[in-house]
């Protein structure tokens, strides 16, 4: 990803501020090329200035009162119109997503359809922003709660799900009456632009949703530190999330961070091995392993390990790597050169830490124009090895052999992350024991670590997550403040005291 100073204005993705598409005043831009074909120049992402971010925040702050006072069901109708527009344009948006981020077309389309579900659910929540009534300790006293918006919220999102993750932040934030300043990843500026175009076309008023492109060190830092921004929702690395959490806390801001994962798949000796192998390979190598929920650790009982590992290798070797826009492709490229090099470095580390069974190679020849790496499996990996502890974000699987269930749970929990986990077994007792004891935010039984539904909370524990969960009803908890109201209808001063 090259930084350039000269670019045609027609090829530079503009910012969106106060209802207008505005070219950045910065002369610094980042080149974005198709990760599957370096000859395909998509365009440039501007490296906007702090001043441009402040203008976006000012626009959001100015629109805040108007949007707060708009009836919630009216807000929901706009979100629902946006859902219908995205559904109508799903094929176009999916092709753009694949071209810019690299995932295969069927996965891009799946992301779009999930996003539509998220928008539909969020639109419905506009009619469910309810409080509760409670009996008072006093006679002739009415106690109730209501939810109110935070104000201006700052959203910082990653490149690996450039439609779904932003929307599962934007939609509930808007439904709750907040205005938004969004910093998308500089790796997916044109997909981000399409998201904003759809919200704007749905009738969102000027200033309610603003988008500014740029580096996290400048644009993101200004969003986090600006006093008018009352809450931050971030998805990305643990390192950046920790910085954001600390800085926002100094201003007493509400913070939500969803960060890394090193997700285990536990395969017990009584499991349906065919089912487990199919799901584990899909969970590890789908989206090129570039998702926080990827199945990157496989913890298998020794008694079935040889047979199971053989099944994994057979399936991995059948996966076709290439340009995700082409039919029949199963695994696309790494998103950019930096991520590509990071994966290759971890593969070199893995060769010293485990037994390489398949993959681990950069594709050559016809694939020279893309960042392609073959699906990689390491066996006999120690639980504390780097490839078993650190998030790689690529098509790399580490197999760890254990003696039994107790050791499997211990190994599964012995990482800093806690996003998601899977267990494959036919023993219902083990299912419920694992569900209680696995240290993670989400447990899957006889299915891969990936996946989630629009109305169900998403998130993790330990180093993975800080703050309320995303999606589902818990998203409303983050984007609102709870207010308690006491109404005394005696019409006189009370003699009794409340302590």
The distance of Cα 268 from the centroid of its chain, to the nearest Å, equals 30
Q: Which of 292, 301, 440, 470 is catalytic?
A: 292
Candidates 100, 125, 258, 391; catalytic one: 258
DSSP string spanning 320-365? PBS-TTSTT--B---SSHHHHHHHHHHHHHHHHHSEEEE---B--G
Give phi and psi for 446, each to the nearest 5: 55, 35
Alpha helices in 152-232 (DSSP H): 164-175, 189-201, 221-225
Write b or e for each residue in 174-194: b if 16 or more Cβ atoms lie within 10 A of its Cβ, otherwise e.
bbbbbbbbbbbbbbbbbbbbb
Is 127:73 a contact under the CB 8 Å cutoff?
yes
Helix, strand, coil content of the chain in percent (nearest 5): 40, 25, 35
d(CA 421, CA 449): 5
> Annotated catalytic, 258?
yes
Q: CB neighbours of 404 closer than 8 A, spacing ≥ 6? A: 301
* Contact criterion met (CB below 8 Å) for 146 and 486: no
CB 253 within 8 A of CB 232: yes
How far out from the chain centre does Cα 438 lie?
A: 22
| CA dist., res. 204 & res. 58, Å (int) | 17
Alpha helices by DSSP H, listed for 70-202, are: 72-88, 90-101, 105-125, 164-175, 189-201
**Residue 202 CB: number of other CB atoms within 10 A?**
18
Alpha carbons 55 and 51: distance in angstroms, whole number:
6
Instruction: Find the length of the chain.
Output: 499
Let me know if 292 is a catalytic residue. yes
Who contacts 416 (Cβ-Cβ below 8 Å, separation ≥6)? 238, 262, 389, 462, 463
The enclosing H or E element of 404 equals none
Active-site residue set = 258, 292
């Amino acid at each position: 990803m090259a930084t350039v100073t000269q670019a045609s204005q027609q090829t530079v993705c503009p910012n969106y501020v106060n209802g207008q598409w505005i070219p950045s005043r910065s002369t610094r831009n980042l080149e974005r090329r198709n990760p599957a074909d370096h000859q395909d120049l998509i365009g440039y992402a501007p490296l906007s200035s702090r001043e441009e971010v402040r203008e976006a925040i000012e626009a959001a702050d100015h629109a805040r009162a108007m949007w707060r006072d708009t009836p919630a069901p009216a807000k929901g109708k706009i979100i629902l119109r946006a859902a219908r527009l995205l559904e109508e344009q799903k094929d176009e948006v999916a092709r753009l997503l694949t071209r810019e981020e690299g995932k295969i077309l069927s996965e891009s389309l799946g992301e779009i359809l999930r996003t539509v579900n998220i928008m539909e659910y969020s639109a419905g929540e506009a009619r469910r922003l309810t409080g509760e009534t409670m009996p008072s300790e006093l006679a002739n006293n009415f106690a109730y709660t209501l939810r109110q918006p935070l104000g201006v919220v700052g959203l910082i999102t990653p490149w690996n799900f450039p439609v779904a993750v932003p929307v599962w932040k934007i939609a509930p934030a808007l439904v709750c009456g907040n205005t938004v300043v969004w910093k998308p990843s500089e790796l997916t500026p044109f997909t981000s632009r399409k998201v904003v175009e759809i919200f704007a076309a749905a009738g969102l008023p000027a200033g309610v949703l603003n988008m500014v492109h740029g580096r996290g060190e400048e644009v993101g830092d200004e969003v986090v530190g600006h006093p008018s921004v009352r809450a931050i929702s971030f998805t990305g690395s643990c390192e950046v999330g920790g910085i954001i959490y600390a800085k926002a806390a100094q201003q007493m801001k509400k913070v939500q961070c969803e960060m890394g994962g090193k997700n285990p798949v536990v395969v017990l000796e009584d499991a349906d091995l065919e089912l487990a192998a199919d799901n584990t390979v899909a969970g590890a190598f789908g989206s090129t392993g570039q998702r926080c929920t990827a199945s990157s650790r496989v913890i298998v009982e020794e008694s079935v390990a040889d047979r199971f590992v053989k099944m994994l290798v057979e399936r991995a070797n059948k996966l076709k790597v290439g340009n995700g826009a082409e039919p029949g492709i199963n695994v696309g490229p790494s998103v950019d050169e930096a991520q590509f090099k990071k994966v290759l470095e971890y593969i070199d580390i893995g060769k010293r830490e485990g037994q390489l069974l398949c993959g681990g190679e950069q594709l050559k020849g016809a694939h020279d124009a893309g960042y392609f790496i073959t699906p990689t499996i390491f066996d006999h990996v120690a639980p504390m090895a780097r490839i078993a502890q650190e998030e790689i974000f690529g098509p790399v699987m580490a197999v760890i052999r254990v003696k039994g269930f107790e050791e499997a749970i211990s190994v599964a929990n012995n990482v800093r992350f806690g996003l998601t986990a899977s267990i494959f077994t036919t023993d219902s007792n083990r299912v419920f024991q694992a569900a209680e004891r696995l240290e993670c935010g989400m447990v899957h039984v006889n299915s891969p670590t990936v996946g989630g539904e629009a109305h169900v909370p998403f998130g993790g524990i330990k180093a993975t997550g800080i703050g309320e969960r995303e999606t589902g009803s818990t998203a409303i908890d983050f984007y609102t403040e709870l207010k308690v109201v006491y109404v005394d209808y005696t019409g006189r001063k009370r003699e009794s005291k409340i302590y």
